[in-house]
């Protein structure tokens, strides 16, 4: 586990993602600590056929596809409403084959626009990294 994650959360930061400034030469962007997209990073996947977006915690990426634990972006508000109403709600653990993945982006805020993780935490009081890791009961 990344030391800054174990020590608690920091404002406006996706704890499992290192900031980077170089390509390692093997086609994978890296930071001194390792790959940018690490297991546990909160990401937004844009998928093809059918077109959809999926938000959640990255479990693994390999040549076959992406494993993620999360929710379809279209149900983000409904999912938050269920959690706030203390109804049973749980993220799905899914695999998307690589031919469906158009884009994967790290869930970070952009200036004054909050990230989905920040919105989730503001509206539910639950830290997404802990929720997707199963550390928080829904």
Residue 34's pLDDT is 56
* 19, 25 contact by CB (below 8 A): no
Q: Cα separation of 60 and 41, whole Å?
A: 10
Higher-pLDDT residue of 68, 5: 68
Residue 135's pLDDT is 80
User: Domains, the chain, ranges and CATH?
Assistant: 36-132 (2.30.30.100)
Q: Could you read off the pLDDT of 54-99 as tens digits, one per residue? A: 999 999 999 999 999 999 999 999 999 999 999 989 999 999 999 9
Q: Cα separation of 83 and 91, whole Å?
A: 11
* 92, 69 contact by CB (below 8 A): yes
Q: Could you read off the pLDDT of 7-27 as tens digits, one per residue? A: 344 444 455 454 443 444 444
Residue 91's pLDDT is 95
């Amino acid at each position: 586990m990344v030391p800054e994650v174990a020590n608690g959360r920091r404002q406006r930061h996706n704890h499992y993602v290192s900031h980077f400034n170089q390509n390692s030469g093997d086609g994978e962007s890296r930071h001194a600590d390792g790959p940018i997209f690490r297991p546990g990073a909160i990401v937004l996947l844009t998928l093809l056929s059918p077109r959809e977006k999926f938000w959640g915690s990255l479990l693994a990426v390999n040549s076959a596809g992406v494993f993620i634990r999360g929710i379809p972006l279209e149900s983000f508000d409904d999912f938050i409403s269920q959690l706030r109403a203390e109804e049973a709600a749980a993220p799905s653990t899914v695999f998307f084959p690589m031919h469906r993945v158009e884009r994967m982006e790290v869930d970070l805020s952009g200036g004054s626009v909050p990230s989905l993780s920040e919105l989730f935490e503001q509206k539910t009081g639950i830290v997404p990294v802990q929720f997707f890791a199963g550390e928080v009961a829904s």
